[in-house]
Amino acid sequence: MDKTIPKRFEGKVAIVTASTQGIGFGIAERLGLEGASVVVSSRRQKNVDEAVEKLRARGIEVLGVVCHVSNAQQRKNLIDKTVQKYGKIDVVVSNAAANPSVDAILEMQESVLDKLWEINVKSSVLILQDAAPYMHKGSSVIIISSITAYQPPAAMAMYGVTKTALLGLTKALAVEMGPNTRVNCIAPGFVPTHFAASLIENDIARRAMEEKTLLNRLGTTQDMAAAAAFLASDDASYITGETLVVAGGTPSRL
């Protein structure tokens, strides 16, 4: 795959939040393989160190910074360290999310509601407030939403609603950050990462998930990374304010 991969990000600097595993790691790896200097981050130093090691082993220029996205000091440090080392920011991928409860919306404790909005929506706004002064003409933001944004499933209804909010956030920020910065969104379908593991604990559940797609398979982190790389690249230079559903044909919208 590396031989055919384009090199659309040479000389570019990309920050990906929540990127020490799963979809965020996949996106960081893809941008790095395409030539970007990538900044990976998550809550735990050990995970950051391991991700940095893996990416370096693939020949990627990488900086690792601990950043819990709801910690203001750590968000500021992520941006400061990036700018100190690389001098600019070309791409920000806002990928962090929490899904702490399967409770119905009407049963959900206020503290759980607060956590969902804080991590899934507010942190995206705040990280972009910090990053925006260092973004310039031709830069790009990718927000990671979810297929559940379109039809929140019962067991993750409030999570789905926060992901719906990200579709609106994408539209609003595309206005505020244009014309210099494009802002787009990805709505992944089901990808068997740590985050989603509990939903496919057995073969029957896995088959049911696969059958919801038209392509008869679950998504991969590489599928999401390819879409993110496209939207962040100059190949998408006339696309802003849009959400790309990457879900194997799972029903979403017209």
Q: Which stretch binds ligand NAP (CB under 6 A): 28-36, 94-102, 200-208, 236-244?
A: 94-102
- Name which of residues 63 to 92 contact ligand NAP (CB under 6 A): 67-70
Residue that the structure tokens 């999310």 belong to: 97
Member of 39, 96, 183, 209 binding ligand NAP (CB under 6 A)? 96
Check residue 117 for interaction with ligand NAP (CB under 6 A): no
Site string for ligand NAP, 18-57 (x = CB under 6 A): x-xxxxx-----------------xxx--x----------
Q: Which distant-in-sequence residues (6+ apart) come within 8 Å of 97 by Cβ? A: 18, 119, 120, 144, 146, 159, 162, 163, 195
Member of 87, 194, 203, 238 binding ligand NAP (CB under 6 A)? 194
β partners of residue 168: none
Q: Helix H segments across the chain?
A: 22-33, 45-57, 72-86, 110-117, 123-131, 157-177, 203-211, 221-232
Closest among 124, 70, 69 to 93, alpha carbons compared:
124
CB 27 within 8 A of CB 228: yes
Length of the chain: 254
Check residue 119 for interaction with ligand NAP (CB under 6 A): yes
Q: Is 238 a catalytic residue?
A: no
Per CB under 6 A, residues contacting ligand NAP are 17-18, 20-24, 42-44, 47, 67-70, 95-97, 119, 144, 146, 188, 190-191, 193-196
| Residues taking part in catalysis | 159
